[in-house]
Amino acid sequence: MPKKNERKDFVFKITVIGDGGVGKTSLIKKYTQGSFQKQYIKTLGAQFSKYDEKVDGDNCKLFFWDIAGQAEFSFMRPTFYKGSKAAIIVYSHAPGEEKSFDHIIDWHEDIKKYCGNIPIMLFGNKIDLVNEKTLDDVKAEKLVDERAFLGYFKTSAKTGNGVYEAFQAIIKDLYEKFKDS
């Protein structure tokens, strides 16, 4: 048992899923490295990024598992999902990529099948490519309520808009959930 003022280490595996090309890798890089790469490079299978962060003085080791969104990698996903403490489902607001929203339920059902009811956050990425004032969030907010997701964030991996707040929300939720266990 840790003493009252002794710091603890937490290890959280957070799986990031969604259709190919919605910006999963770019979001993780923006959060962990502060960088953005313009050209699209398809993730093959999965890749992971380790990131250390302090939350209320405790060390949190974060492992972001970036899962390829293309159908040809679907057979690998159950293995990659194992041990996930939370997930982020990413879809794109970009014109021409609206179908990524329609696949959110499929992604949710897929990870639920292997991980149970872990906390899920929804990121609507590429917000820099649309007029935010005319954006209708009702469908996304309704889905968050129906599916009991933790929340919904509008993000842009390119500009950084919403990225820090979105990742912080899921990290803080995990920390609060596990700090007393």
Q: Which residues pair with 17 in a beta bridge?
A: 89
What are the residues whose beta carbons fall under 8 Å from the beta carbon of 19, sequence distance 6 or more?
A: 69, 91, 92, 97, 99, 100, 103
What is the pLDDT averaged over residues 133-145?
92
Residue 2 lies in a domain: no
Strands of 18-161 (E only): list them. Answer: 46-55, 58-67, 86-92, 120-125, 151-154
Domain count, the chain: 1
pLDDT tens column, 39-55? 777 787 788 899 999 99
pLDDT of residue 6: 60
- Structural domain for 58, as ranges: 9-178
Residue 85 lies in a domain: yes
**Phi/psi at 65 (5° precision):** -95, 115
Residue 142 lies in a domain: yes
Does the pTM surpass 0.75? The reply is yes
CATH of the domain at 118: 3.40.50.300
Mean pLDDT of the chain: 91
